[in-house]
Structure 1
Amino acid sequence: MTTTTAPNTAPGAAARDGALLAGLDLHKSFGPTAALTGASLDVLPGELIAVLGASGSGKSTLLHCLAGLTRPDAGTVGYRGADLWAMSDAARSALRRTQFGFVFQFGQLVPELTLLENTALPLRLNGQRRRPAEQQAREWLERLDVADLAGKRPGELSGGQGQRAAIARALVTGPSVVFADEPTGALDSLHGERVMALLSAAARDSGAAVVLVTHDLRVAAYADREVVVHDGRTEDRGRLL
């Protein structure tokens, strides 16, 4: 695969000028098991990055550290120039509600809520009134081609429909960064391609950057840049042509 920048390996990597989000020289262990051993990754505004690696390589741990879900043992995570892990828990939680969006492998929609209520949930948690929140949520469901299912609950949906709703929920707040952890892992290839096409198009339309963890090269083909995680370290393969 042809690239336009030279490979960059951590530790010792520096964030690029204008980086929106940057994790530098990250280390994380779970008991005696080292998950990250000097991983670095930075994200420019609007960039879609595929984080590749074998199972157990540390790619999901890297995403969780960048998203403020898992505290690294060493290293730094900066978001818009602020140290993510120097923030209070409340400030970091607010950041995840307003500036970050999340799409997980199995959607993780609230089973008791309708699709419309699930999509509006981040807005409601931020204090928005129900009617405008649901109107905004409905617009996103329309963009993701599932507005006709707005009154259904997650148990009544196919996997692909649920993932499209999860993407709508991730983007409804207008986040700067969307973290997607194996978003097509539970789907067949046809539905996986459809979900990735919708995710990449919707993110680009909204201006959100995407950090996408996957082991599927077909999914990674939607990215602007590939970063490979191996034994807890990163290799930046550069911008794709």
Structure 2
Amino acid sequence: MSAAGEVLLEAAGVRKAYGATDALTSASLRVRAGEVVALMGPSGAGKSTLLHCLAGIVRPDGGAVRYRGADLAALTDRARSALRRTDFGFVFQFGRLVPELTCLENVALPLRLNGERGRVAARRAREMLAELDLADVAGKRPGEVSGGQGQRVAMARALVTGPRVVFADEPTGALDSLNGEQVMQLLTTAARVRDAAVVLVTHEPRVAAYSDREVVVRDGRTRELEVTG
């Protein structure tokens, strides 16, 4: 469990280019335990690149990203991979569930990759599915459930390891408004109960409304907005 209000993630002057194209020119923000931060901005502004830098998936060309004070760029590839299995959780736009596995097996997968025994992993996965009102889909494969259910299964997979930070990249982009609202309610509630931070990429104001803070990414730079109402 993180200390209340602890700064978990910090980006300072992050720069990233792909060839001659600058994705980020000077991106800075802090993310504290228990808060939801929405990264907003137009397509191509650098939102997903910033999220990938924060998660240690992409190395920035300049500036620094620190997780609990440790510079991610200074960690080995193995250490960053370990963070993504234990301290970080991920929810993507289309879920990215393994189609050959049942929903229960999909949720248990990160636990198994961390060396958890099969029976223990299955029990924890079943508990996570039940918490998100998905007990009835445990034995089904992703192709046999609705889009909203599939995205909630992906959310269960992201939360089952007890991550300190959940990265969500357009998590409602493939859902209708009703299912999108349900996913966001469950995601933010589950994260706050665990005192985990959520870093959310979205271009939808109704999704950003679930956040504590909005950070606008435009032309590779960041600017924070106050959330009101």
Amino acid at match of 2:19: G
Q: How many Å separate the matches in 1 of 2:22 and 2:226?
A: 26
Q: 1:200 aligns with which of 180, 188, 199?
A: 188
% identical aligned pairs:
69
Q: CA deviation at 1:238?
A: 3.6
Tell me if 1:50 matches 2:38: yes
Residue 167 (str. 1) matches residue 152 (str. 2): no
Residue 106 of structure 2 corresponds to residue 118 of structure 1: yes
Does residue 80 (structure 1) correspond to residue 68 (structure 2)? The answer is yes
- 1:12 aligns with none
Q: Give 4+ residue runs of structure 1 displaced > 4 Å after superposition.
A: none
- Structure 1 residues 131-184: Cα deviation after superposition (integer angstroms, max 9, x where no partner): 111110111101111110001111111110011001100000000000000000
Mapped partners of 2:39, 2:116: distance in 1: 34
Matches within 5 A, 1:128-143: 128-143=116-131
Whether the 8 Å contact between 1:20 and 1:43 is mirrored in structure 2 is yes
- Give the Cα separation in 1 of the matches to 2:133 and 2:158: 15
Distance 1:49 1:202 in 2: 15
Shift of 1:18: 3.8
TM-score (norm 2): 0.96
Alpha-carbon distance change, 37 to 191 in structure 1, aligned in 2, over 3 angstroms: same
Task: Determine the structure 2 residue equivalent to 1:5.
Answer: none
| Shift in Å, 1:206 | 1.5
In structure 1, the gaps of 5 or more residues are 1-16
With normalisation by structure 1, the TM-score equals 0.91
For 2:174 and 2:96, locate their aligned partners in 1 and report how far apart those are by CA, in whole Å.
12
Query: Displacement of 1:89 after TM fit?
Result: 0.4
Q: How many Å separate the matches in 2 of 1:147 and 1:21? A: 33
Distance 2:220 2:62 in 1: 13
> d(CA) in 2 for partners of 1:240 and 1:87?
38
Quote how far apart the aligned CAs of 1:240 are: 4.4
Could you tell me how far apart the structure 1 residues matched to 2:144 and 2:219 are? 40
Asked if 1:92 is matched to 2:92, the reply is no
Give the match's secondary structure for 1:20: strand
Equivalent position of 1:210 in the other structure: 198
Runs of 5+ consecutive residues of structure 2 not aligned to the other structure: none
